[in-house]
Chain A
Amino acid sequence: GAGVSQSPSNKVTEKGKDVELRCDPISGHTALYWYRQSLGQGLEFLIYFQGNSAPDKSGLPSDRFSAERTGGSVSTLTIQRTQQEDSAVYLCASSLAHGGNQPQHFGDGTRLSIL
């Protein structure tokens, strides 16, 4: 497709389970970003990839969160031992390259609900 694709669109799981969220960026976009959108917190940066490497993981809230990117394309965000406070919409974005004036293009997000 032409845009950023995220799956699943919705995920409901029990506290303590692991979840994996997927992001397929726009073809040719080398930069990929994960954000979290939750009530009361707004949009928070989680992690940035340039190619397959992640020079900035500063936004990951705990060591239960990890992400990887393979082949310079698809990325997965994994949350281990989920907690209720992990409930949020997880957004992925990609851009052509790094640089402040490159707009980021967002997917529709994965709505994660922890019971």
Chain B
Amino acid sequence: GNSVTQMEGPVTLSEEAFLTINCTYTATGYPSLFWYVQYPGEGLQLLLKATKADDKGSNKGFEATYRKETTSFHLEKGSVQVSDSAVYFCALSASNSGYSTLTFGKGTMLLVSP
């Protein structure tokens, strides 16, 4: 079956530090990969996505590259802000009979201090 493994949190950083949140996956076929972010008290928001190998998704200074050889989709940001404090979920979507459901990692909480 499909699965997503991401690093456990919380990840605690100072403002302007470099961020990496690791994500690896197991899937049959060729899944699409996503990062979602959940700010306190809010629902999940799509942060970025990549649909094929070597694609790089980017948004709001965050980046992740679809690495098929290492089955990874690590999230990075060069300089985090306090407003980036949230829970980050890595997810994959693999089509089954023409539709897809998301398989999520357990989430990584990021805490950024001033």
Contacts and interface: CB of A to CB of B under 8 A. Distances in A.
Q: Do A and B bind each other?
A: yes
Interface of A: 4, 6, 31, 33, 35, 42-43, 45, 48, 50, 55-56, 59, 91, 93, 98-109
A113 B10 CA distance: 25
Interface string B11-48: 00000000000000000000110101000001111100
26 contacts: A4-B43, A33-B101, A35-B102, A42-B107, A43-B89, A43-B107, A45-B101, A48-B101, A55-B97, A56-B99, A93-B44, A93-B102, A98-B99, A99-B95, A99-B98, A100-B31, A101-B32, A101-B51, A101-B93, A103-B46, A104-B46, A104-B93, A105-B46, A106-B43, A106-B44, A107-B43
Interface residues of B, number: 27
Nearest to A92: B43
Interface of B: 31-32, 34, 36, 42-46, 49, 51, 89, 93-107
A103 B99 contact: no
Contact of B102 (A4, A45, A55): A45
Contacts, number: 66
B43 A98 contact: no
Contacts of B49: 101, 103
Nearest to B105: A42
A42 B106 contact: yes
A98 B102 contact: no
Given A42-B106, A42-B107, A100-B94, A48 B99 contact: yes
B106 A55 contact: no
Contacts of A98: 95, 98-100
Report whether over half of chain A's contact residues are helix, strand or loop; otherwise say mixed: strand
Contacts of B94: 100
A21 B34 CA distance: 27
Given A43-B104, A101-B51, A91 B43 contact: yes
Contacts of B45: 106
Nearest to A105: B46
A109 B45 CA distance: 12
Given A42-B107, A100-B32, A103-B34, A33 B46 contact: no
